[in-house]
Chain A
Amino acid sequence: GAVVSQHPSWVICKSGTSVKIECRSLDFQATTMFWYRQFPKQSLMLMATSNEGSKATYEQGVEKDKFLINHASLTLSTLTVTSAHPEDSSFYICSALRAGTSTDTQYFGPGTRLTVL
């Protein structure tokens, strides 16, 4: 159990376009999901915390108008990179907290590789 999927697994887009990435918890409900970004050979950097039914909380330095997050249901959160530019090229990873348990474990998706040309 505790499977998290992401779609797409990779995407290539032109500069200036918007890209939507989906994060789904397949076999559990998640009231909280997180979005991370990882550059090559670097650590995962938390971008924002996504809470079902409320606005996302963004980390310092992350532009909320550029990285739109929608947590529409207990199993789905989406990240939209608006007006993407080459510097937004990165590996985007989501994670989910299983609702209704006392565990602090985050379950991670497989990641989405974004390349902006």
Chain B
Amino acid sequence: SQKIEQNSEALNIQEGKTATLTCNYTNYSPAYLQWYRQDPGRGPVFLLLIRENEKEKRKERLKVTFDTTLKQSLFHITASQPADSATYLCALGGMDSSYKLIFGSGTRLLVRP
């Protein structure tokens, strides 16, 4: 069956450390993968997109890797801050001619001051 898995348990880290979140998928062949941030009671906010032919993408303190062999993406936040506390969603796209996204259930990140 098709699955997208993100750690359901919250990730609790100290301010200043690097947070690493994982997104694994099975039986999908995405052309691209996206990461979103969602705060409670709000819609997701786009962070980064990485395509199947890209290994790594960076944006300020954010870094995403994409391994299509392992069917895994890692999302890193360096020098984490309490303001980074939120739920982070990965989403697979480009599996057909539409622009539909299939979302994981998200991982909650808590950054302690």
Query: Which residue numbers of A lie inside 8 Å of B, CB to CB?
Result: 4, 6, 32, 34, 41-46, 49, 57, 91, 93, 95, 97, 103-111, 113
Closest-CB distance, B68 to chain A (whole angstroms): 17
Query: Which residue numbers of B lie inside 8 Å of A, CB to CB?
Result: 4, 32, 34, 36, 41-46, 49, 89, 93-94, 98-106
Contact B32 A93 (CB under 8 A): no
Contact B105 A46 (CB under 8 A): no
Which of B34, B43, B98, B106 touches A105 (beta carbons < 8 Å)? B34
Chain B residues in 8 Å Cβ range of A4: 43
Instruction: Assess A108 versus B43: contact at CB under 8 Å? Given A43-B103, A43-B106, A46-B100.
Output: yes
Main secondary structure of the interface of A (DSSP, over half): strand
Closest-CB distance, B7 to chain A (whole angstroms): 13
- Complexed CA–CA distance, A44 and B87 (Å): 12
Known: A43-B105, A43-B106, A113-B41. 7 other contacts (CB 8 A): A43-B103, A104-B34, A106-B99, A108-B36, A108-B44, A109-B43, A111-B41
- Complexed CA–CA distance, A109 and B36 (Å): 13
Instruction: Assess A106 versus B46: contact at CB under 8 Å? Given A44-B103, A49-B100, A111-B41.
Output: yes
Instruction: Assess A104 versus B43: contact at CB under 8 Å? Given A42-B105, A43-B105, A49-B98.
Output: no
Which of A41, A42, A46, A57 touches B101 (beta carbons < 8 Å)? A46
- Complexed CA–CA distance, A106 and B43 (Å): 11
Chain A residues in 8 Å Cβ range of B102: 46
Greatest chain B CB density within 10 A among A44, A49, A91, A106 is at: A44
Contact A104 B94 (CB under 8 A): yes
- Complexed CA–CA distance, A95 and B98 (Å): 14
- Which 9 A-B residue pairs are closest in the complex by CB-CB distance? A108-B43, A43-B105, A44-B103, A43-B103, A111-B43, A108-B44, A93-B43, A110-B43, A109-B43
